[in-house]
């Protein structure tokens, strides 16, 4: 997911609709919009998704020196235990470390957003985009078309409902804990329309797969998707992504963002991200992933953060036992 989208007022509006407290910080050349998260026992922390962000991409600007005091002041006002940041670059992370005036900046126990994302440039003809795909991906797109899969881009309520049903059903099938239904409802309510649409696949009048795609800046971003496993052989997810790319091109956008991938798991041939990474890379195997430093915590309350890390370790221990 693009940093521009996650640092936009559009995304903050969605967070508020989902019940979160969102704060909007900015300076002349930077933004650090954040969301307050509450955890049991340890209280609240401020999460800055894909930020702080430089509005002007100048690695030598030192803009993060300006952002840091504003972040600390807002955190003090909110009385949070720590600030979780996701800098765009290692240089930005280094600047934040240097400007924190003795505050600890440590690697977060887990990343909030994927450390790697996959963006495909759209400034080519459709023929060139198809030629750049893996042959298996092109073949599966054709299979979907031959099997009578029809794709529609829409914001109609019945497709919203189908999208939520398919997303939660796919998560359950893959053993992933989905967001609550209200989260997806708020996403549809605030993002669909000018900023997004449902790309749905139908066969014989039944909705068999659906994706939510958002438009912001020069990028179309695939946020969530799901499919009906009964129609697995129809290859609808391949056709959905291709039609979303075509739709983004018609809008004059420059990029299609497939979201998170894992190059390590792709290279190793194993892991929970392997299947989705292989699927996405098939649309442009010569394109490399965009890599971010990951999530880091600026510790403001040592006691609260210590309790948080203890709880995280305990949670991981229990999850390991359950897996075994």
- Does residue 229 share a domain with residue 214? yes
Specify the pLDDT at position 57: 58
Specify the pLDDT at position 62: 65
- Does residue 234 share a domain with residue 141? yes
CB atoms within 10 A of CB 214: 23
Specify the pLDDT at position 2: 57
- Does residue 305 share a domain with residue 241? no
- Does residue 91 share a domain with residue 159? no
Strand ranges (DSSP E) for 130-254? 150-154, 196-203, 206-216, 219-227
Could you please report the per-residue DSSP string of 65-83? Answer: HHHHHHHHHHHHHHT-SEE
> Where does residue 51 rank: exposed (0-12), middle (13-18), buried (19+ CB within 10 A)?
buried
Backbone dihedral angles phi then psi of residue 152, each to the nearest 5 degrees: -130, 140
Strand ranges (DSSP E) for 129-254? 150-154, 196-203, 206-216, 219-227
- Does residue 144 share a domain with residue 31? no
Q: How many CA atoms lie within 13 A of 322 on its CB side?
A: 6
CA 154-157-160 angle, to 5 degrees, is 70
- Does residue 60 share a domain with residue 44? yes
Domain range for 244 is: 116-290
Q: Please, are residues 186 and 17 in contact by the beta-carbon 8 Å criterion?
A: yes
- Does residue 31 share a domain with residue 107? yes
CA dist 53 and 63 (Å) reads 9
CATH number of the domain bearing residue 202: 3.40.630.30
Specify the pLDDT at position 222: 98
Count the domains in the chain: 2
- Does residue 201 share a domain with residue 137? yes
- Does residue 184 share a domain with residue 64? no
Specify the pLDDT at position 66: 82
CA dist 156 and 153 (Å) reads 9
Q: Which of 224, 221, 275 is nearest to 245 (CA)?
A: 221
CA dist 298 and 35 (Å) reads 15
CA dist 245 and 236 (Å) reads 14
- Three-class SS state of 206: strand
- Does residue 125 share a domain with residue 100? no
Q: How many CA atoms lie within 13 A of 240 on its CB side?
A: 29
- Does residue 172 share a domain with residue 219? yes
- Does residue 83 share a domain with residue 121? no
pLDDT averaged over 10-residue windows placed end to end, the chain, 324 residues: 81 96 88 94 96 70 78 95 94 90 89 97 98 98 98 98 96 87 96 96 97 97 97 98 98 98 96 95 98 97 96 77 55
């Amino acid at each position: 997911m693009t940093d521009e989208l996650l640092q936009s007022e559009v995304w903050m509006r969605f967070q508020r609709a989902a019940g979160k407290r969102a704060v909007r910080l900015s300076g002349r050349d930077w933004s650090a919009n954040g969301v307050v998260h509450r955890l049991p026992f340890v209280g609240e922390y401020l999460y800055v998704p894909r930020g702080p962000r430089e509005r002007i991409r100048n690695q030598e600007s030192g803009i993060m020196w300006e952002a840091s005091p504003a972040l600390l002041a807002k955190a003090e006002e909110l009385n949070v235990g720590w600030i979780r940041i996701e800098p765009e670059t290692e240089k930005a992370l280094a600047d934040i470390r240097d400007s924190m005036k003795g505050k600890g900046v440590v690697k977060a126990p887990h990343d909030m957003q994927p450390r790697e994302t996959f963006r495909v440039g759209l400034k080519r003809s459709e023929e060139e985009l198809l030629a750049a795909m893996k042959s298996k991906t092109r073949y599966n797109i054709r299979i979907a078309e031959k099997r009578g899969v029809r794709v529609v881009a829409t914001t109609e309520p019945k497709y919203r409902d189908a999208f939520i049903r398919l997303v939660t059903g796919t998560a359950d099938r893959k053993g992933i804990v989905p967001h609550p239904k209200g989260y997806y409802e708020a996403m549809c309510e605030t993002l669909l329309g000018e900023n997004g649409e449902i790309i749905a696949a139908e066969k014989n009048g039944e909705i068999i797969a659906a994706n939510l795609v958002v438009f912001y800046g020069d990028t179309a971003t695939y946020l969530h998707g799901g499919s009906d496993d009964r129609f697995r052989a129809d290859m609808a997810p391949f056709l959905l992504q291709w039609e979303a790319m075509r739709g983004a091109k018609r809008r004059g956008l420059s990029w299609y963002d497939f979201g998170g991938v894992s190059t390590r798991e792709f290279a190793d041939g194993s892991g929970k991200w392997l299947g989705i990474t292989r699927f996405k890379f098939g649309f442009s195997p010569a394109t490399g992933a965009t890599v971010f430093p990951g999530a880091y915590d600026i510790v403001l309350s040592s006691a609260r953060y210590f309790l948080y890390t203890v709880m995280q370790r305990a949670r991981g221990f229990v999850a390991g036992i359950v897996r075994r």
